[in-house]
Amino acid sequence: MSARTSTIFVTGATGCQGGAVARLLLSSGHTVHAITRSPSSPLSLRLQSLGAKLFTGSLDDESALVAGMQGCTGLFLVVPPAPHDTTVKYTTAILSAAKS
């Protein structure tokens, strides 16, 4: 019996919580798509070296979010600490992209 794998879009994948989830998913054989503002940063490069597919953009960049979510069957959402309006803006963009 083979293990079932999925493609999961992970936000915050270069941070503590999102990074831990991304690494666990990758080590379990899943495919990880992640968005990053800095694809050449050491954390982004490490994640990419582990097999993650990176998409350049931010949490309010709906076109980058839509591109990153193509082919994904799941989403792990972590939003950085921010004022309420910013958190709502990020979450709205992410959920809108997920519906696309």
- List CB contacts of 59: < 8 A, sequence separation 6 or more: 11, 35, 65, 79, 80, 90, 93, 94
Give the torsion sign (CA, 73, 35, 99, 94).
positive
pLDDT of residue 72: 97
**Domains along the chain with CATH numbers:** 7-99 (3.40.50.720)
pLDDT band at 1 (very low <50, low <70, confident <90, very high): very low
pLDDT of residue 3: 66
Give Cα separations from 22 to 12, 68, 83 (angstroms): 9, 14, 25
For residue 2, pLDDT over 60 is answered with no
**Cβ atoms of residues 53 and 33 within 8 Å:** yes
Q: What pLDDT digit, counting tens, does each position of 34-65 carry?
A: 999 999 999 999 999 999 999 999 999 999 99
For residue 68, pLDDT over 70 is answered with yes
Find the helix or strand (DSSP H, E) in which 88 lies: helix 84-99
Question: CB 14: neighbour CB atoms within 10 A?
Answer: 24
- Closest by CA to 76, choosing from 37, 1, 40, 26, is 26
User: 49 is written with which tokens?
Assistant: 């070296």
Q: pTM of the prediction?
A: 0.91
Q: What pLDDT digit, counting tens, does each position of 78-94 carry?
A: 988 899 999 999 999 99
pLDDT of residue 4: 81
